[in-house]
Amino acid sequence: MNNVFVIGVGLIGGSLCLDIKKIFPDIKIHGIDVSEETLDLAIKLNLIDYKSNFKELYKGDLIFIATPVDIANNIIIDVLDIINEKTLVIDFGSTKSNICNKVTDHKNRRNYLASHPIAGTEFSGPESAFSGLFNDKTIILCDIEKTDQKLLKTAEDIFRSINMNIRYMDSLSHDKHIAYVSHLSHISSFMLGKTVMDKEKNENNIFDMAGSGFESTVRLAKSSPDMWTPIFKLNKDNIVESLDEYIMNLKNFKSLIQNDDFTQLKNQMKKTNYIKNILKGLN
Amino acid sequence: MNNVFVIGVGLIGGSLCLDIKKIFPDIKIHGIDVSEETLDLAIKLNLIDYKSNFKELYKGDLIFIATPVDIANNIIIDVLDIINEKTLVIDFGSTKSNICNKVTDHKNRRNYLASHPIAGTEFSGPESAFSGLFNDKTIILCDIEKTDQKLLKTAEDIFRSINMNIRYMDSLSHDKHIAYVSHLSHISSFMLGKTVMDKEKNENNIFDMAGSGFESTVRLAKSSPDMWTPIFKLNKDNIVESLDEYIMNLKNFKSLIQNDDFTQLKNQMKKTNYIKNILKGLN
């Protein structure tokens, strides 16, 4: 392993660079990004060794795509066109079936592995990157039977060596589950932020009361619109379905309050408390 | 200051005991709770010095009520009936106008101060109490013109000495603002938990993907139904209003996705990102 290319040197790509350097101290990391400023910063922060471009990709032993999902979808064919026969290409996007469909008939399909690391913060850009972002986090690998088994093994070894927990899922199921467990959380948080800001013209009221649960629940509303808009676009159907169910549950909860059915309300909350048991061990 | 009574020795009451002991090392703390087991545990954990009961309240220099809001509302008259003329009674509930209405004509109204500390965790009971829960947190004092000014000063001194930031608000405004900033967060979180659990029969999927924002957004769904049911009941109108606006925003966001209006969707998220600036300084 001599040359790694990271396309998109933001929070995810940048943090990965730091981890990759730890496990392969002699490796050369080449960064590609639409923003020259981002690349300059990534060099200054020692995330990458060289600024690079698509023409150089044929040199890569390993290529990580850590761009917003729409860009990953737009460039994946170009990347697969240019690589050598031993290159492993891994993308990190939060939606998977679309990109998997896109490459399905490509001659280099077996050089590609669809992945989704369940890791991140509400911050973005190379300045947010840190070593350890992936430590003890889940990475979901999709449709692995379509990847060359030797390359897959290489990928698994890398993810295990940065202490990630590997799970396997087909790309359609991934998109369905992630709509509920991740994408819906972001929308609920964005809309909570919007509702409160629309109402509270006096920002001090928000600030003073934010410690009462608002701050943590609204955290995801700080997330990058450039990253999330394409996710909502590419996982549209699953997200609309999850939103319908969320809205239905909220309406039902509202009716229970309006009808003074506080016994039923309490029962519903008690049942939902079971989430404690499911999440146990995450902290 | 010799005798403090804490009615309701849970997370809030218990944590307060720890702080009070630090600033008044010689004070005697008397605990009152519906649960004998809670009181035994509170003694074992050194939160309180004595188990007590309502008949003893006349001895109190200071009485804190840290029960669920429905219980605070039910007992406030009995407490005010029994106190001596110098006793300061402070309640800590998350809704304020109801209890303020209740005491409005009481002969000892001026001994009572309505407060709401913006502090807590998703855990409950004396075993969750810890010193420092109130450190650098906001406490909202309501309708202070109705409290004796000397007693008010005593309360302010205590809250400042445990490093709380005092804000003043009338009780009606408090309930309106807190519905948006706090109560709505809890409902959005409870319903997120319900929606995801209803859909995901395989708990491993939830667990594996929870790091993607779900875990923090759903945190409040671990909260105590015994505490929150009466809050939703006592702040019904404001909460229903906030829920209507939240549901409207969610529906609108869904329509933007369905209509492929991703420019508008991104704009809305960008505007909501402003929450960063409002919350700056909270961390």
pLDDT tens for chain B, 283 residues long, are 899 999 999 999 999 999 999 999 999 999 999 999 999 999 999 999 999 999 999 999 999 999 999 999 999 999 999 999 999 999 999 999 999 999 999 999 999 999 999 998 888 899 999 999 999 999 999 999 999 999 999 999 999 999 999 999 999 999 999 999 999 999 999 999 999 999 998 898 899 999 889 999 999 999 999 999 999 999 999 999 999 999 999 999 999 999 999 999 999 999 999 999 999 865 5
pLDDT of residue A120: 86
Helices in A83-213 by DSSP H: which ranges?
A: 97-103, 149-161, 171-178, 184-199, 203-209
Separation in Å, CA of A92 to nearest CA in chain B: 13
- Residue A112: what are its φ and ψ, rounded to 5°? -105, 135
CATH 1.10.3660.10 residue ranges in chain A? 174-279
- Among positive and negative, which fits the CA dihedral A55, A58, A59, A62? positive
CATH number of B174-279: 1.10.3660.10
In whole angstroms, what is the distance from residue A248 CA to residue A268 CA?
Answer: 14
CB contact under 8 A, A184 and B192: yes
Residues of chain B with Cβ-Cβ distance to A220 below 8 Å are 213, 216-217
Residues of chain A with Cβ-Cβ distance to B225 below 8 Å are 266, 269-270, 273
User: Best interface-test mutation with A: which of B212, B216, B237 has the largest number of A CBs within 10 A?
Assistant: B212
CB contact under 8 A, B232 and A282: no
The pLDDT tens digits of the residues spanning A264-273 come to 999 999 999 9
CATH 3.40.50.720 residue ranges in chain B? 3-169
CB contact under 8 A, B273 and A200: no
Q: Which residue carries 């995901």 as its tokens? A: B200
CB contact under 8 A, B215 and A279: yes
Partner-chain residue, chosen from B195, B197, B225, that has the shortest CB–CB distance to A242: B195
**How would you list the strands of the sheet with A165-169, edge to edge?**
A50-51, A28-32, A3-7, A62-65, A88-91, A112-117, A138-142, A165-169
pLDDT of residue A281: 63
The pLDDT tens digits of the residues spanning A79-109 come to 999 999 999 999 999 999 999 999 999 999 9
CB contact under 8 A, A219 and B218: no
Give ipTM to 2 decimals: 0.92
pLDDT of residue A280: 86
- Residue A210: what are its φ and ψ, rounded to 5°? -65, -20
Instruction: Please tell me whether residue B270 adopts helix, strand or coil conformation.
Output: helix
The pLDDT tens digits of the residues spanning A28-75 come to 999 999 999 999 999 999 999 999 999 999 999 999 999 999 999 999
CB contact under 8 A, B192 and A185: yes
Residues of chain B with Cβ-Cβ distance to A246 below 8 Å are 191-192, 195, 250
Task: Give the pTM.
Answer: 0.92
Residues of chain A with Cβ-Cβ distance to B260 below 8 Å are 233
User: Are B237 and A158 spatial neighbours (Cβ–Cβ below 8 Å)?
Assistant: no
The amino acid that residue A40 corresponds to is D
At A15, list the tokens: 């943090």
What CATH fold (topology level) applies to the domain A3-169?
Answer: Rossmann fold (3.40.50)
Instruction: Please tell me whether residue A174 adopts helix, strand or coil conformation.
Output: helix
The pLDDT tens digits of the residues spanning B126-160 come to 999 999 999 999 999 999 999 999 999 999 999 99
pLDDT of residue B281: 63
Which residues have CB under 8 Å from B98's CB, separation 6+? B69, B73, B234
In whole angstroms, what is the distance from residue B139 CA to residue B152 CA?
Answer: 13
